[in-house]
Amino acid sequence: MFSRIVGTGSYLPERVVTNDELARTVDTSDEWVRTRTGIRSRHVAAEGQLASDLALPASQRALQSAGLRPADIDLIIVATTTPDIIFPSTACILQSKLGIAGCPAFDVQAVCSGFVYALTIADLFIRSGQAKHVLVVGTEVYSRILDWSDRSTCVLFGDGAGAVILAASEKPGILATKLHADGSHKEMLCVPGSVNGGKVWGSPFVRMDGGAVFKFAVRVFEEGAREVLEAAGLKVADLDWFIPHQANIRIMEATAKKLGLPKEKLIATVHHHGNTSAASIPLALDEAVKDGRILPGQTLLLEGVGGGFTWGAVLLRW
């Protein structure tokens, strides 16, 4: 038994914030942000719009493209670092908004690797016969955990959600997966605050050593790609599309170069939604499916890297 992606969907909040708009409130410029990151604009959720509110339309669109109803779903996994509330999980809240009950639902917290972690878990549930149709969602409202006066972080992130339906299938599907973590790099990228006794202890905003994250990401993207390709008995030349976590176009292009992969095989959507953490891979995937770039039979490599540090890769046949 294998698992295959049979539907994709995404949702971006209405409000678009351009680099020029940010440059009116922090000491930055459209030129700096574009040349250092590739980002031109990002979407920002409306006040009161939560991770589950973005996840709902993304999930409904994924269900529609799979030709399924919410009642067909037998597992929900939501990857998010910006859950609606501390608990219940955003997956449980999403389940209720979808109007279903009974199937298991849980969140995965692996920051920007969250979608790759969630997809890997979903694949294992399907291959072990525990589930037939899994809704896997990456959804984030990073705008809530940004210090909008810190130019080194606020220009990088955005809000959004992407979803896929992973279904049991006799032909693959997912060919190989590999996850990693190294908790010793906590300080490189974190939100160090916590809720304690009714107060926030420590900073509730994203803190990052951008240069260190950049180097780490390029290294593990290359290693992770080679690892899953080897596990599946494939070569870099067999890849049709590379869909890495959308954080910075320079990280993606540097990885493609190290792998010897032509830039044309890189799917990059970071320019119009910024870094949406766990949502970035399914957002890019959905866009490339809908615009007709991704075709049946093609081989795709999805890779995530983020706080933890966590990283991982999923190699699949469309």
Provide, rounded to whole angstroms, the least separation between the CB of residue 154 and ligand UT7: 8
Considering the rule CB under 6 A, would residue 279 count as an interface residue with ligand UT7? no
Provide, rounded to whole angstroms, the least separation between the CB of residue 247 and ligand UT7: 3
The smaller minimum CB distance to ligand UT7, of residues 24 and 171, is found at 24
Considering the rule CB under 6 A, would residue 112 count as an interface residue with ligand UT7? yes
- Residue from 77, 118, 161, 247 touching ligand UT7 (CB under 6 A): that is 247
The smaller minimum CB distance to ligand UT7, of residues 163 and 191, is found at 191
The smaller minimum CB distance to ligand UT7, of residues 65 and 280, is found at 280
Q: Which of residues 183-212 bind ligand UT7 (CB under 6 A)?
A: 189, 208, 210-211
Considering the rule CB under 6 A, would residue 48 count as an interface residue with ligand UT7? no
Location of structure tokens 């339906």: 165
Can you say how many angstroms the Cα of residue 97 is from the centroid of all Cα atoms in its chain? 21
Would you call 112 a catalytic residue per the annotation?
yes
The CA distance from 208 to 211, in Å, is: 9
Considering the rule CB under 6 A, would residue 148 count as an interface residue with ligand UT7? no
Helix, strand and coil in the chain, % to nearest 5: 40, 30, 30
Considering the rule CB under 6 A, would residue 146 count as an interface residue with ligand UT7? no
- Which candidate in 103, 112, 248, 273 is catalytic? 112
| C-alpha closest to that of 306 among 286, 285, 280, 273 | 280
Element (H, E) at 15: strand 15-18
Considering the rule CB under 6 A, would residue 28 count as an interface residue with ligand UT7? yes
- Residue from 217, 232, 243, 314 touching ligand UT7 (CB under 6 A): that is 217
The CA distance from 116 to 227, in Å, is: 15
Would you call 245 a catalytic residue per the annotation?
yes
Peptide bond before residue 308 is cis, with ω within 30 degrees of 0: no
The CA distance from 208 to 158, in Å, is: 16
Stretch of residues binding ligand UT7 (CB under 6 A), selected from 44-52, 60-68, 213-221, 265-273: 213-221
Considering the rule CB under 6 A, would residue 8 count as an interface residue with ligand UT7? no
The CA distance from 279 to 159, in Å, is: 8
Considering the rule CB under 6 A, would residue 275 count as an interface residue with ligand UT7? yes
Considering the rule CB under 6 A, would residue 37 count as an interface residue with ligand UT7? yes
Location of structure tokens 């031109």: 40
Backbone angles phi, psi at 293, to 5 degrees: -70, -40
- Which candidate in 43, 133, 245, 272 is catalytic? 245
| C-alpha closest to that of 36 among 270, 221, 305 | 270
Q: 165, exposed or middle or buried, with CB in 10 Å at 0-12, 13-18, 19+? A: buried
Would you call 19 a catalytic residue per the annotation?
no
Judge contact between 201 and 211, C-beta under 8 A: no
- Which candidate in 103, 133, 272, 275 is catalytic? 275
The smaller minimum CB distance to ligand UT7, of residues 33 and 256, is found at 33
What angle in degrees, to the nearest 10, is found between the helix axes of 210-231 and 249-259? 40
Which positions are catalytic? 112, 245, 275
By the criterion CB under 6 A, which residues form the site for ligand UT7? 28, 32-33, 36-37, 112, 151-152, 155, 189, 208, 210-211, 213-214, 217, 245, 247-248, 251, 275, 306
